[in-house]
Structure 1
Amino acid sequence: MTSRTMRRRLHHGDVDGKKREHLVAADLDDLNEPLLGNNDEYRAKQLEVQRLEDILYDEKRKESLHWTFLFSHIISEWAQWLAKLILGSGSFIARILMSPSTPGNFLPPPLTPLQEARLGTLQKRLEVPFDGSCLEHQDALRELWRSAYPNRELPGLKSELWKEMGWQGNDPSTDFRGGGFISLQNLIFFAHTYPEAFQNLLNKKDGSRAEWEYPFAVAGINISFMLVQMLDIQSGLPTSLSGMRFLQFLSNDESAFDELFCVAFKLLDVHWLARRASYMEFNEVMKSTRVQLERELAIEDVTCVKDLPAYNLLR
């Protein structure tokens, strides 16, 4: 493996001059915690900085939501009057305009049979946790390795070699947590569908990289988890604008979630490079990635993943 590929990975580096074997993965149920970090003193300082930044962020967000709510309420009152006058209360457009005025929440339209079937299939995928004792899941891990390193010997399911792909330890099954089996399927889909972009991200070929890079595989799990939250598709019908637009995507492509994962991963790396981020800033990069995705999903003439401006990054 070239020296470029063997860039100082997190599992065999040091922070503040102290050597250690690997860093502990963050709890995927709380993306506000740093993804990585194990030095107590250093991490405590970083967490204090993060806490202060989060407080400032929350205050700004509350102020923004206050004005958004007032504006939304005025628009909602006007829209209800206009919808009743022109469209009638039974039409689809009237239902959207007369939805509750809580910012970010909308009345979801009725699903087509195709949308309902594909959403149900996706939700069933989300319910499957990764099981290291399951033969299907073991085979999927092996398939990911073959796709990532086609010219290298396949390691055992527990091997130090897995760290080179960006797993935290020698057993990838311990890193899935909230990501579930679908996050591994997302990575395999990425490797098969966009092999060049996948290899560029895996081997950190683009741009001027940080001294301490984010771990590729664990970042992928975080992205899957973030998308599930953003699209509000864990159970029932999504009520967020992003989730409702995603339902339109499902009408056009049953692989819409996997496709969106690929776009999100590439977009995250672009934000990482633009910010010149280090691994302690991973969650800030994740937040900015989510914000851009939500903006692009709100574009009026976007009807599928390939219409998203960020999709061009995969080419």
Structure 2
Amino acid sequence: MFVQVCLYFYCKCLWRCLKFVVRKLTGRCELQRICYNIKPGASRTMKIETSLRGSKNKLLQTSVSVHPDAIEKTIDDIMELKKINPDINPQLGVSLQACLLQIVGYRNLIAEVEKLRREPYDSENPQHEEMLLKLWKCLKPDCPLEARISKQWCEIGFQGDDPKTDFRGMGLLGLYNLLYFAERDAAVAQQVLSDSLQPKYSQFSKAEWEKKKFDKAIGYSFAIVGINITDLAYNLLVSGALKTHFYNVAPEAPTLSHFQQTFCYLMHEFHKFWIEEDPLDIMEFNRVREKFHKRILKQLQNPDMALCPHFAASESLINM
């Protein structure tokens, strides 16, 4: 253990010495080298974030957690600290500002998502009830809900006659995501719902099914899976895995809409993945989900990766 600690500090000291030498040779600090040599996106922002967090200077360390309104002043302070003339290096300030907006925005997004996750569904809250009823209308527009407490809820994948009990794990976040999917991409959400009930010939022609031997493909509970995929998206966010995606698609601070669009993408991709995996029964859900989770994590290890949706709600992400 002692040897490992000594090795760590030795490597850290060596790294700082190397950075000092490089700055003397190039005339540029690490932040300048990153901004000038790496294209905008996740690669640049993540390197800037690592550099700031790893600095021994408190101003640089805390710059990744300032209030969004304080970012401009923070940039000025960093430029002054590094003795960088903004008139000679105007692009540096712009690049650092964009990176800090993403870094601080990601942190704030986690807080916003966590707040929704911790807020329980309250059937006495008119807003919560309105959202739930709207979810039904978006998914089943031609089939009126006969009563608030009804077995009909099972038709869209809830476990019982009152959906409020199914939101316990993810709180309001699960409902927000499901409603976003159903409302913003009604046709796609309705198709996925239909496929989840009768999946056998939904995604492929009969000949393709026979070739792939998907004879035992089964469906799943749409709403319950949506809440479960919400949990997956939440964990990707909190773990930092989604930084790659958001830093590539959001030119400034990622928002709750970005998160919900990512949920839509994950729902769509999981649905295809479920059919391709051809599970024997619903008891294989956890295995399929874990395999899907690993696939997404692997994709996000590519610094150029963006989880580009295949449908309308998130086309704006591709063009940002």
Q: With the length of structure 1 as denominator, give the TM-score of the two structures.
A: 0.60
Q: 1:245 aligns to what?
A: 244
CA contact (8 A) 1:130 1:173 kept: yes
Provide Cα deviations, 1:63-121, integer angstroms capped at 9, x if missing partner.
xxxxxxxxxx9xx8786665454366788847626979xxxxxx998157151554543
Q: What aligned pairs does 1:155-174 form with structure 2 within 5 A after superposition?
A: 155-174=146-165
After TM superposition, give the deviation of residue 301 of structure 1 in Å: 2.7
Identify which of 91, 96, 102 aligns with 2:50.
96
Q: RMSD over aligned Cα, in angstroms?
A: 3.3
Q: 2:140 aligns to what?
A: 149
Tell me the distance in 1 between the aligned counterparts of 2:261 and 2:177: 8
After TM superposition, give the deviation of residue 220 of structure 1 in Å: 0.4
Distance 1:209 1:131, change over 3 A: farther
Q: Structure 2 counterpart of 1:257, which letter?
A: F
Distance 1:143 1:210, change over 3 A: farther
Tell me the distance in 2 between the aligned counterparts of 1:189 and 1:95: 31
CA contact (8 A) 1:214 1:279 kept: yes
Tell me the distance in 2 between the aligned counterparts of 1:79 and 1:243: 28
Correspondence 1:110 to 2:112: no
Q: 1:274 aligns to what?
A: 276
Q: Structure 1 counterpart of 2:298, which letter?
A: R
Tell me the distance in 2 between the aligned counterparts of 1:244 and 1:196: 29
Q: 2:193 aligns to what?
A: 202
Distance 1:265 1:281, change over 3 A: same
Provide Cα deviations, 1:127-170, integer angstroms capped at 9, x if missing partner.
21222232211111100000001111123221011111111111
Tell me the distance in 2 between the aligned counterparts of 1:190 and 1:140: 13
Q: 1:259 aligns to what?
A: 261
After TM superposition, give the deviation of residue 271 of structure 1 in Å: 1.3
Aligned-residue sequence identity (percent) comes to 25
User: Which blocks of at least 5 consecutive residues in structure 1 are unaligned?
Assistant: 1-72, 101-106, 233-239
After TM superposition, give the deviation of residue 291 of structure 1 in Å: 1.8
Q: 2:129 aligns to what?
A: 138
Correspondence 1:86 to 2:22: yes
Tell me the distance in 2 between the aligned counterparts of 1:223 and 1:108: 33
Which SS does the other structure have where 2:169 is aligned? helix
Tell me the distance in 1 between the aligned counterparts of 2:276 and 2:148: 35
After TM superposition, give the deviation of residue 313 of structure 1 in Å: 6.4
Q: 1:227 aligns to what?
A: 233
Q: 2:221 aligns to what?
A: 215
CA contact (8 A) 1:231 1:242 kept: yes
Tell me the distance in 1 between the aligned counterparts of 2:270 and 2:303: 23
Distance 1:229 1:172, change over 3 A: same
Identify which of 105, 112, 132 aligns with 1:121.
112
What is the count of residue pairs matched by the alignment?
A: 223
Which SS does the other structure have where 2:64 is aligned? coil
Tell me the distance in 2 between the aligned counterparts of 1:168 and 1:94: 46
Provide Cα deviations, 1:234-275, integer angstroms capped at 9, x if missing partner.
xxxxxx441433663563552111011111111111111111
Q: 1:299 aligns to what?
A: 302
Distance 1:189 1:89, change over 3 A: same
Tell me the distance in 1 between the aligned counterparts of 2:119 and 2:132: 15
CA contact (8 A) 1:200 1:206 kept: no
Tell me the distance in 1 between the aligned counterparts of 2:241 and 2:218: 32
**Structure having the higher Rg:** 2
User: Which blocks of at least 5 consecutive residues in structure 2 are unaligned?
Assistant: 1-7, 24-28, 35-46, 55-60, 69-100, 196-201, 205-213, 316-320
- Structure holding more helix per residue: 2
